[in-house]
Chains A and B, each alone.
Chain A
Amino acid sequence: MKYRMAAALLSLVGVFVSSYLYLYKIGKIGTMACGTGGCETVQTSEWARFLGIEVSLLGLLGYLGLFLVALAGLQPPLVARRGVALLLVAMSGLGVAFAFYLTVLEVFVIHAICYWCVGSAVIILLVLAASLLDLRRTPALESESVAPHPS
């Protein structure tokens, strides 16, 4: 259960990081706390949108989804369900793949590094690690829950 808690907590941090990036993008935050200036370069580049949607908004929705799934998965009826663990791995795995794609763009195409984006990539990587560890312990819990109690 501790891994699912970690996934929930990290996802919540991710919600705030991506919210910060999105609020900057829509002009609610004037300048970014980013010493290199790379954040503005990345955020104002053509790659800041994916399929017509702000990348930071996609991140926000993704983290919010992960947080809600992890939180729901901590409730007694779902805590031992392998499906929740699988869903967390799938969602965070997709997030890691997307973060990898964005980091490659930053390094090789945009030639600027946004520390907040790197921070988000680290968070989603940690969420995936926690989700994988959670998946590893879930079958054991399920088998415990179906095993007959010794009389």
Chain B
Amino acid sequence: MKTFYIVIGVVAVVGAAALWWMMKRPTSVEIPIDVVIQASDTAGFSGYYIGSQDALIEVSEYGDYQCPFCQSFAVVQFPTIKSRLVDVGLVRWRFRDFPLDGSHPHARMAAHSAACADDQGRYWEAHEAIYHGQPVWTLERNAAGTFRGYMQQLGLDLPEYDACMGDTRYAGRIEASRQEGIRLGVNSTPSFVMNGRLFAARGMNYDFLRALTDSLQQVAAAGE
């Protein structure tokens, strides 16, 4: 009987130590903030686009994946805008990363995860999955595994994804995007830029864009 309790004690100590070690070990790469932006980071890349190049208007969204307002916009507003305006060729959408590192520690990693999905042609699916899962991963100490799980569900080539995340391939691109937003006057997320004019979150919604595209179509029709 004494041997049994010794075995139980050993298993308990080893198990607890293993869990403690796994909780304490560094488990994922950090996406650097103070990265030096190289010309190659932005060469041929000006954002993530969806929609026709011939659309009447182009909207640039500066978003942070961990920002609740961005999540609300992505989950509530954007699907309507996409189906009724983007998919029918009226609006072209451009997403730019604007991570607010001070208050959102996972934002840059989320942006990098989506960038690595873009490598495999699945950016917008990853964008949607990360925003939909935000209420879950925002509470996590380290969300890298959760993001990887989303990518697995999307059918990405995981070794390629891991390699992309491991060498922080798009850290410079993300920082360049943020600095571009700062130059344009972005100081909150989500912010939108259309024809050089900056709109805060409340200024951008489906009704506004619908009215704008309708009026542009009327102007075009009157000119014909």
- A-to-B contact residues, CB < 8 Å: 5, 8-9, 12-13, 15-16, 19-20, 23-24, 26-33, 37-38, 40-41, 43-45, 71, 74, 112
Contacts and interface: CB of A to CB of B under 8 A. Distances in A.
Given A38-B152, A44-B150, A9 B11 contact: yes
Contact of A44 (B18, B23, B146): B146
Contacts of A20: 19, 22
A12 B12 contact: yes
B146 A40 contact: yes
B140 interface: yes
B137 interface: yes
B7 interface: yes
B8 interface: yes
9 contacts: A5-B4, A12-B12, A16-B19, A20-B22, A23-B22, A23-B23, A24-B145, A40-B146, A44-B153
A31 B27 contact: yes
A91 B7 CA distance: 23
B169 interface: no
Contact of A27 (B1, B11, B137): B137
Interface in B56-73: none
Nearest to A2: B4
- Range for the number of chain B residues in contact with chain A: 20 to 34
Interface in B1-48: 1, 4, 7-8, 11-12, 15-16, 18-19, 22-23, 27-28
A31 B28 contact: yes
Interface of B: 1, 4, 7-8, 11-12, 15-16, 18-19, 22-23, 27-28, 133, 136-137, 139-146, 148-150, 152-153, 158
Question: Could you say which of A28, A38, A74 has the most chain B C-beta atoms within 10 Å of its C-beta?
Answer: A28
A135 B35 CA distance: 65
A72 to B, nearest CB: 13
Given A40-B145, A40-B149, A41-B152, A29 B137 contact: no
A41 B155 CA distance: 10
Given A12-B11, A44-B146, A19 B152 contact: no
Contacts of A44: 133, 136, 146, 149-150, 153
A15 B27 contact: no
Contacts of B140: 26-27
A53 to B, nearest CB: 15
Nearest to A12: B11
Contacts of B153: 41, 44-45
Contacts of A43: 149
A74 B73 CA distance: 58
Contacts of B142: 27, 29-31
Nearest to B18: A16
Contact of B149 (A5, A26, A41): A41
Contacts of A33: 22
A43 B139 CA distance: 15
Nearest to A19: B19
A27 B27 CA distance: 11
Contacts of B148: 31, 37, 40
